[in-house]
């Protein structure tokens, strides 16, 4: 797990913040953000992310001509011909979101 390196640690947290990066906010800023999913609180009230898993990165395939990266008409064609998915060992993360619908007449 890469939770000590911010560049590679991107847990999924859904909040009211337009900026993101909840895990890297100061304690004061965290208190101002409403968390909608992806965090639980310890007994001491410290937020802990719940939806993080192994690191997966799309990397260029060996030997591809990177000068062609912007020549594809869509991302799917670019991804399928230029990139390969590489994942660390370990489990994937899972975020469960429960939606409650209230209908008013």
Whether residue 44 sits in one domain with residue 12: yes
Whether residue 41 sits in one domain with residue 5: yes
Whether residue 32 sits in one domain with residue 3: yes
What is the full DSSP assignment across 52-90?
----EEEEEPTT--GGGGGG-SSHHHHHHHHEEEEE-SS
Whether residue 2 sits in one domain with residue 25: yes
Tokens of 35: 């968390």
Which domain range does residue 64 map to?
Answer: 54-89
By the 8 A CB rule, do 78 and 84 touch? no
Rounded CA separation 13/30 (Å): 12
pLDDT at 26: 87
Residue 5 lies in a domain: yes
Tell me if residue 36 falls in helix, strand or coil. strand
pLDDT at 4: 64
CB count, 10 Å around CB of 49? Answer: 19
| Per-residue pLDDT of the chain in tens (105 residues, 90 and over written 9) | 556 676 777 788 888 888 888 777 888 888 888 888 888 889 998 888 888 888 889 999 999 999 999 999 999 999 999 999 999 898 888 888 778 888 887
Whether residue 49 sits in one domain with residue 1: yes
């Amino acid at each position: 797990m890469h939770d000590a390196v911010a560049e590679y640690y991107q847990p999924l947290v859904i909040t009211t913040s337009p900026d993101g990066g909840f895990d890297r906010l100061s304690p004061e800023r965290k208190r101002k953000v409403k968390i909608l999913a992806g965090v639980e609180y310890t007994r001491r009230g410290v937020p802990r992310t719940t939806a993080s898993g192994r690191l997966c990165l799309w990397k260029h395939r060996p030997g591809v001509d990177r000068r062609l990266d912007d020549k594809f008409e869509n991302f799917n064609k670019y991804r399928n011909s230029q990139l390969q998915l590489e994942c660390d060992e370990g489990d994937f993360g899972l975020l469960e979101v429960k939606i409650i619908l209230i209908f008013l007449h």
